[in-house]
Structure 1
């Protein structure tokens, strides 16, 4: 199993979902299910790596009406917020964890813990609080 993660840069709010295979179709299905509940004005951009699982990105762009960008190869700092958040997830699921043995409920508990953790960069608000306030007052870039 695999996990798809999306993190809002401004609020550090994490959305994550398990997928069974690392295919473009599985990635798109998970991404659409996470982004569709958001108001169109709240989903502006998405920055992806260069893996094969992102090869059908144009379907997400068209369906969600968002702009998709790609990080330069071997430049993980261009997606620093996401990489940092993946590191937080790894505190709960260390490297070599078989994600097929993790339940959706276990993953969502970890997501909740991460989103409920106060952050100095958010003036000690939690990502959940910051995302809520941002959702009410302005557009989001992810």
Structure 2
């Protein structure tokens, strides 16, 4: 499973990567992120997993720059590590992620994005992301 988190609003998107292949995952990222305004998808930071070797597809497909964490440096993607801990509330370690239905993944994501966060002034990531999109689209 790929966990995407918008840095400013903590808005989360979960993507299932059935075979851990890079090209299908990059195509899915492009499909999911392309509707967003260009300002909302300027860059993305990955860890060093093999599923991200086709990162150039993002630059070609939608102009999004790719960055990578240093090896063995999980603190460089602290939001993702924190979100993975939150996900463990719903998905014990022995959960077969490939058996999760798209509906159950959407429901988990909606619940995570509907949880108020102290760092957002007790707004939810959904509220903060919506407000940010409105701000970006304003003239």
Q: Same fold by TM-score, threshold 0.5 exceeded?
A: yes
TM-score of the two chains, using structure 2 as the length reference = 0.93
Q: Distance in 2 between matches of 1:85 and 1:138?
A: 25
The answer on whether the counterparts of 1:4 and 1:31 sit within 8 Å (CA) in structure 2 is no
**RCO higher in structure (CA 8 A, sep ≥6):** 1
RMSD: 1.3
Cα deviation for residue 100 of structure 1 reads 1.6
Runs of 4+ off more than 4 Å: none
**Residue in structure 1 matched with residue 26 of structure 2 by the alignment:** 28
Number of corresponding residues: 137
Counterpart of 1:126 in structure 2 is 124
SS at match of 2:89: helix
For 2:24 and 2:108, the matched residues in 1 are separated by: 21
1 CA distance for matches of 2:24 and 2:93?
22
Which of 83, 88, 91 is the equivalent residue of 1:90?
Answer: 88
Name the TM-score, length of structure 1 as normaliser. Answer: 0.91
Q: Is structure 2 residue 40 aligned with structure 1 residue 42?
A: yes
Please state if 1:60 is matched with 2:58: yes
Paired residues of 1:4 and 1:19 also in contact (CA < 8 A): yes
Matched position secondary structure for 1:110 = helix
Query: Is 1:74 the counterpart of 2:35 in the alignment?
Result: no
Q: Distance in 1 between the 2:74 and 2:102 partners?
A: 27
Aligned equivalent of 2:133, options 125, 132, 135: 135
Structure 1: gaps (5+ residues): none
Counterpart among 104, 112, 117 of residue 114 in structure 1:
112
Distance 2:28 2:87 in 1: 18
